[in-house]
Chain A
Amino acid sequence: MLKINMISKTFDRGSVNEKKALHQVSLSLDEGEFVTVIGGNGAGKSTLLNCISGVHPVDEGSIILDGTDITFSPEYKRSRLIGRVFQNPLLGTAFDMTIAENLAIAWARGKPHGLSPGITRPDKALFREQLALLGLDLEERINQKVKLLSGGQRQALTLLMATMGRPKLLLLDEHTASLDPAIAKKVLHLTRKFVSEEKLTTIMITHNMKAALEYGSRTIMMHEGQIILDLSGEERAEMTVERLVKYFESRSGVQLENDRLLLS
């Protein structure tokens, strides 16, 4: 489904701030595969996602999604195939518009945006149905503005918007990191539910090693712009957080003191 061939990305090339964010990274995902990504700060996790989604153009290499070469496509065109949820709950929704209006924009993804009505009656019924899946009673608040929602509710809504219409690829960039633990767990459960029900090909970055092993079918670890570990199958089933941390420390030479990386 997704084929990344030797992509590299360097920021501020030639300046004192030059930062090699990705170094010849290759990664292949089968259809329906759910990959979790871990790694320290500055490992290149977010850059990888941003290169796939087209926020940053890559310096070299190619990205093929569902048989289409998207290496040079603009961000908005790739977004017709890719659903995204960001870490910041403010980035996923239009705050001054209603829940229904936000969903309508997501629902229209990849379809022509003509002068037809933004929300029809059947649309609204469908949105209520979909919102009910979140279990947050948002279906009762469909005409309320999104700015009235909490961060967790917004993030659940963004997740719904990102998965509506079944994107070819779902990219989750620490989408629960800024939520409080209870709602973060809820959003993670919803993520698993949507991904498995729709068989979505998914990449999820997380700071939480436990979640990284618990969710999905494959885990990769990044360090200094490269993938240093790729776990799946039995090897992954037998992996524990402690061994993962040890492995990370031995491979990277960095002591993990950051609690957030372990459990959050």
Chain B
Amino acid sequence: MTLMNLATVLSSVELGVIYAIMSLGVFISFRTLNMPDLTVDGSFVLGAAVSAVLCTAGRPLAGIILALAAGALAGSVTALLHTKLKIQPILSGILTMLALYSINLKVMGNRANIPLLNQKTIFNLPEWMPGPDYAALIISLLLLFTVMILLYFFLKTKIGLVLRATGDNEQMVRALGVSTDLTKLIGLALANALVALSGALIAQYQSFADVGMGIGMVIIGLASVIIGEAIFGTSNLLRRLIAVILGSIVYRLAIAFALELGMPPTDLKLISAVIVCAALSMPTIKEQLSLLQQRYTAAVNNRGRPL
């Protein structure tokens, strides 16, 4: 790539790898459970906040693990709002996300951001790493790989199968003796645990946590999922997971490329929204176009005037 130097590519890939964990979370809620879970914007920051606070206390690894638990808790709240209080899924997520804004500020000690400069993080912990250049990439790749393998095998277990069936056909899952309330709880807890893990890693990677860093995160995750599916396919489970990861990396590279070309960074969210809009509306647009073509051909053949 002549337009992008190696450092830019490397940092885009690093970001893509870390955000891929978040995208896998979004994949679980949006694709596996078929639930539009907007908790993500809040749970991402929650993970970052927990991780940053523990970093300042000199415990980066504990920060990562606690972030996972905090994310799972946030997802559980959304699931319970939906399943037990019968609030629509999308609204349940928005409510949790809103509540998390205040909670995140509390976690961060009522500061809007926490800088982590000169703090120990998991990216500068190991001294045996082959030079600092690739340390972040190797560590995040290792983590991502572990998450993907565990997720793959989890979705193949007995409980994983009913989780996937819940998104396909809730009625069937209940008819086969499994509580869909429970499967949704497990699914959303898992999804948001991954999202929070990603947030925790991002905070340590870029050495700060900010209360606004989660805005639009769900759309970025969804964009990665859609890009991955479009480019790499959905034929089987392993392929789908790999597609999500590659989708996340492609998304980051595309963004970096656009920035190189001179796009102002403030336009990032707009671009993300447009990408997801375009991808989601593609089937409808295709259908409309072919309908239009059919009508045109019919009109020409009949020499009549279309209505």
Are A79 and B177 interface neighbours, CB within 8 A? yes
Q: Given A76-B177, A76-B179, A79-B177, check contact A114 B172 (CB 8 Å).
A: no
Q: Which 9 A-B pairs have the closest CB atoms?
A: A94-B168, A94-B165, A80-B177, A79-B177, A118-B161, A113-B159, A109-B177, A76-B179, A113-B158
Are B172 and A94 interface neighbours, CB within 8 A? yes
Which chain A positions have C-beta within 8 A of B164? Answer: 94, 96-97, 101
Contact with B along A73-98 (1 / 0, CB 8 A): 01111011000101000111111110
- Nearest CB of chain A from residue B110's CB, rounded to whole Å: 40
B156 at the interface (CB under 8 A from A): yes
Which chain A positions have C-beta within 8 A of B165? Answer: 94, 97, 101-102, 105
A-B contact pairs, 8 of them (CB 8 A): A76-B179, A84-B175, A94-B168, A95-B169, A102-B165, A105-B173, A117-B156, A118-B158
| Residues in B lying within 8 Å of A, measured CB to CB | 154, 156-162, 164-165, 167-169, 171-180
Partner of A116, one of B158, B176, B177: B158
Are B169 and A74 interface neighbours, CB within 8 A? no
Closest B residue to A100 using CB positions: B161
- Nearest CB of chain A from residue B258's CB, rounded to whole Å: 33
Closest A residue to B179 using CB positions: A76
Are A118 and B156 interface neighbours, CB within 8 A? yes
- Nearest CB of chain B from residue A99's CB, rounded to whole Å: 13
Closest B residue to A53 using CB positions: B175
A114–B163 CA distance with the chains assembled, in angstroms: 12
| Total number of residue pairs linking A and B with CB closer than 8 Å | 89
- Nearest CB of chain A from residue B165's CB, rounded to whole Å: 4
A115 at the interface (CB under 8 A from B): yes
Closest A residue to B32 using CB positions: A96
Known: A114-B159, A117-B158, A119-B156. 20 other contacts (CB 8 A): A76-B174, A76-B177, A76-B179, A77-B177, A84-B175, A93-B172, A94-B164, A95-B168, A95-B169, A96-B164, A97-B165, A101-B164, A101-B165, A104-B158, A109-B176, A115-B158, A115-B159, A117-B157, A161-B176, A162-B175
